[in-house]
Each structure stands twice: as C-alpha cells, then as structure tokens.
Amino acid sequence: MSALSATRCALLCWSGPGCYNQCHVRKANRKLPEEGCATVAEIRAEAAAEEALRESRQIALAAAEAMREGKGEEILVLDLSSLSDFADFFVIGTGLSGVHMRALADRVQEKLAGRGIQLSHVEGEESTSWILLDYLSVLVHIFSVESREYYRLERLWGDGILVNWESAGWVSA
C-alpha cells in the first residue's frame, strides 16, 4: 500500500456511508474524504474528552452526595466544561462552622478516596471561611455562610450549567 493510500485509509468520512467502507473494503475505489471529515485521531480525542467529562461528572456527583450526607447546606454543582479550561465542574456547599466545614471536607475526601479518586491539592484546610479540594477537573468549594455570601461563586460563574445532582441518577455506594 502506498503512503498516499495509507493516508486515505487513515481518514474517516462522516458525510455518508461510503468513504470508510470504500477505503477499507473496496481498496481499488478509494475516495478522499470530503470537507469537514474528521481524522481517526480527532475522533478518538473527542471520544476520550467525552469519557473524561463523564468521569468528572461522576466525581462531582459523588462529592455533592458526600456533602449531603455530612449535612452540608446549599449544595450545588455547576458544569463549567464549556466555559473553563481549568475545571469541568464546581461543587459548592456551605458548612455552619469551621468544624463542620472540615468534617465536610473529610467526608468528601474519604468518599472519593474510597472510589480510587486522588485528591490533587487542598487549600484552606484549617480555614474557617473557605476550603478548596482540587480534584483537577472538579473543584469542591466548602464555604462558611459569610464567605459564601461574600464570594458568591455561583453568581460569578452564572453562565455555567446548574446540574440537578439530586435527581441525576446517582446511586450511593
């Protein structure tokens, strides 16, 4: 097979049923893909990105569930995947005291660690106003009542999609 033929066969065409089959089944009748076709690498990268987003969503839902179990208040999940390059989801919750905030942070860490999910970084671990748990694609924010009102992340990131996490089909394990 020539280099040009190999290049043609490495491309997929979504414009119709013929291109991929013509390249691989009827080798004598190869056709270059039409404009707008994606390469195999692009299709694989898109599938990997979709899988990573599904995994991020599961992490966010598990974190929200852990905060609910710990009696966290005003818990919400924001999907920022179309807005941000640094995180796909924010999970935001409120603790009623510094001790309660640390207990919520511990509960989230234990639940996610039990699922094999590694915590990348913790910020404000001893804080009584804001604790941040960084799971790379998911950032968990645990605020005091006063800090939640002051920073209002849900307003700042208001273009994000509010996820109805309580009815998202999450099954606690």
Cβ atoms of 138 and 56 closer than 8 Å: yes
Nearest to 24 by CA among 13, 36, 35: 13
The verdict on 102 and 124 lying in the same domain is yes
The verdict on 113 and 157 lying in the same domain is yes
- pTM of the entire predicted model: 0.73
Q: How would residue 167 be classed by pLDDT, with cut points 50, 70 and 90?
A: confident
**Averaged pLDDT, 61-90:** 94
The verdict on 63 and 134 lying in the same domain is yes
pLDDT (0 to 100) of residue 36: 57
Residue 160 included in any domain: yes
pLDDT (0 to 100) of residue 53: 87
Work out the mean pLDDT of the chain and round it to a whole number.
80
pLDDT (0 to 100) of residue 7: 39
13-39: pLDDT as tens digits = 444 444 444 444 433 444 445 555 667
**Averaged pLDDT, 59-78:** 95
Q: Which residue did the predictor score with more confidence, 53 or 173?
A: 53
The verdict on 26 and 67 lying in the same domain is no
* Dihedral, CA of residue 132, residue 134, residue 135 and residue 138, to nearest 10: 70
Count of domains forming the chain: 2
Residue 96 included in any domain: yes
Instruction: Report the alpha-carbon distance of residue 141 to residue 56 in Å, rounded.
Output: 15
pLDDT (0 to 100) of residue 18: 43
Residue 59 included in any domain: yes
The verdict on 118 and 162 lying in the same domain is yes
pLDDT (0 to 100) of residue 28: 42
129-153: pLDDT as tens digits = 999 999 999 999 999 999 999 999 9
The verdict on 87 and 156 lying in the same domain is yes
Nearest to 57 by CA among 138, 111, 120, 115: 138
Sign of CA dihedral 162, 164, 168, 173: positive
Residue 165: pLDDT over 90: no
The verdict on 56 and 140 lying in the same domain is yes
Residue 141 included in any domain: yes
For 20, the domain range is 3-38
Contacts of 10 (CB under 8 A, 6+ apart): 39, 40
Residue 98 included in any domain: yes
Residue 13 included in any domain: yes
The verdict on 134 and 156 lying in the same domain is yes
